Amino acid sequence: MHPSKPSPDRPSGPLYGPPSGPPPLPQPPDGTTTGGTHHRGVRKHDRGAREHHRGARKHPRGAREHRRAARDQHRSIREHRTPRRAALRIASLIALIALLTLSGIAILTLVRRETGTEGFLVGFALAVFPVPILVTAFRWLDRVEPEPWRNLAFAFAWGACAATLVAITANGFATHWLSTNIASVSPTDAETWSSTVVAPVVEETAKAAAVLLLFVFRRRHIDGITDGIVIAGLTATGFAFTENVLYLGNAVGRDLSLGSLSPHSLAGLADSLTAGTFFVRVIMSPFAHPLFTVLTGLSFGIAATRYPHHRALRLALPALGLTTAILLHSIWNSASSLGSFGFLAVYGLFMVPVFAALSCLAVWSRRQELLSLRTYLPPYAAAGWLTPTDPLTLSSLRTRALARSIARRTHGPAAARAVTEYAALATSLAFLRRRAHRTGPTPDFHTRERTLLHHLWQTKPLAHPALTHAHRTRRQAPCSPSTQAYVASDESRTPDGNR
């Protein structure tokens, strides 16, 4: 088809040949396997509509009045729904910001009062060290489809402020109650019971609340295991930061009171309590709290995208993840009472292997997300929205980086940003289709799909040449015979995994 003038929906040019409108939408994911309940509901609704119209024919005057009232009601709902939702969203945001602000002020006052000004400042400076490393690691893991920064900022702030305030208050109350109400428990035993039994339950539950809130109110942004790991890890990073400020500040205050640490000299620093606390909490185990809470986030990530017709299982998965996190946290806290040898044994024989296993799982999950683009983007390529090589090109982070470099070198920063936006839109489109395939299409599936495709189409003119060049460059790059065989076999594989 060769229209006389270009369509406004699609740019004309030699890259695309004769101008025409956007391609048609591909077929939605098959609902007979995962969306059968949705289609049964549609059929039930159709039967109800037929019965309604059959009754309307018997009572025409009542039917007209009913339709008029229904139209007025729907018009009123449409007029008031958007302002009402916007007002509710703004009120919720204000309440959340106020809650986090008050929690931050309260925890700041509490920690400063317990550690003193000097202890607080030194503890704050020392506790900052692992935070950039952990945040960078979780952001690296989240590169395939980055979470909205608002969700990540909320998770970190909740862990650093609200969760820490709840944990410190509850742990202090539990220790005081055990030492005053149980005669056989000494203050030392009360602290041991509080750290090994009460603290894991309170702290992991408080951190899991951030994941639960995002799971309930921002579930569309949780697309699998990786998102759950990232949100939980950043929540625990914020929690560990504030807790480290408290422990390091107390250590500094005690060293200053004993004279083993002078503010004007570094003498005796190696043997100080501050150095020992810094080594154990910042050097040896900066990943401890993220490791525990990641188990909770992992279970929420599975529940968000799996088992749509097993409600009991989806409710049991987060509870199982939280229980496992509490158990692992309790084992780690009890290791401090086993002496130096017992602590090192728990650390080397238990904590490090668990950390390595979860790290491998996180990397594997990210790899599976990339490979899912080859499975769920081909329908859009077949419909003409994408080029045939886009699913393979966008499933490689190296090819994406090469395309950004080519775009920046040839057409400037705007083209590089277009490549980034194009890749992000295509990834969101693939994840939207994957979720619909696994759990059934949501009511807003077609709206979100059209929105993503519209923005994708607008970005394509700037992004496509660089992506095509990057794909050709990667294919022509010299590599070993084994790598060439792997690439050839990988490209010959169909989206369902067959050749």
Paired tokens of 246: 């408290």
Distance CA 463, CA 307 (A): 37
Residue 13, classed as helix, strand or coil, is strand
Token pair 């185990």: residue: 285
CB within 8 Å of 190: residues ≥ 6 apart: 175, 176, 178, 179, 182
Paired tokens of 173: 């109350």
Q: How far is CA 115 from CA 123, 157, 201, 259, in A?
A: 9, 21, 25, 16
Confidence (pLDDT) at 30: 53
Q: How confident is the model at residue 267 (pLDDT cuts 50, 70, 90)?
A: low
Res. 103: pLDDT tops 50: yes
Res. 131: pLDDT tops 90: yes
Residue type at 371? L
Paired tokens of 400: 């994406």
Least confident window among 2-6, 157-161, 273-277, 467-471: 2-6
Token pair 């599975």: residue: 302
Res. 334: pLDDT tops 60: yes
Per-residue model confidence as pLDDT tens digits over 377-395: 999 999 889 989 999 999 9
Paired tokens of 37: 């309940």
Distance CA 224, CA 435 (A): 9
CB environment 458-473: b (16+ within 10 A), e (fewer): bbbbbbbbbbbebbee
Res. 20: pLDDT tops 60: no
Least confident window among 29-38, 404-413, 476-485: 29-38
Distance CA 2, CA 189 (A): 84
Res. 55: pLDDT tops 60: no
Share of the chain above pLDDT 90, in %: 43
Residue 72, judged by CB atoms within 10 A of its CB (0-12, 13-18, 19+), counts as exposed
Per-residue model confidence as pLDDT tens digits over 411-458: 889 999 999 999 999 999 999 999 888 888 888 888 899 999 999 999
Residue 499, classed as helix, strand or coil, is coil
CB within 8 Å of 463: residues ≥ 6 apart: 403, 407, 415, 418, 419, 421, 422, 423
Confidence (pLDDT) at 340: 82
Confidence (pLDDT) at 17: 33
Res. 232: pLDDT tops 60: yes
Confidence (pLDDT) at 25: 67
Confidence (pLDDT) at 248: 94
Q: How confident is the model at residue 288 (pLDDT cuts 50, 70, 90)?
A: very high
DSSP class per residue in 380-443: HHHHTSS-TTHHHHHT-HHHHHHHHHHHHHHH-HHHHHHHHHHHHHHHHHHHHHHHHHHH---T
Per-residue model confidence as pLDDT tens digits over 304-322: 888 777 788 888 999 999 9
Per-residue model confidence as pLDDT tens digits over 83-94: 777 777 788 888
pTM of the model: 0.77
Distance CA 381, CA 389 (A): 8
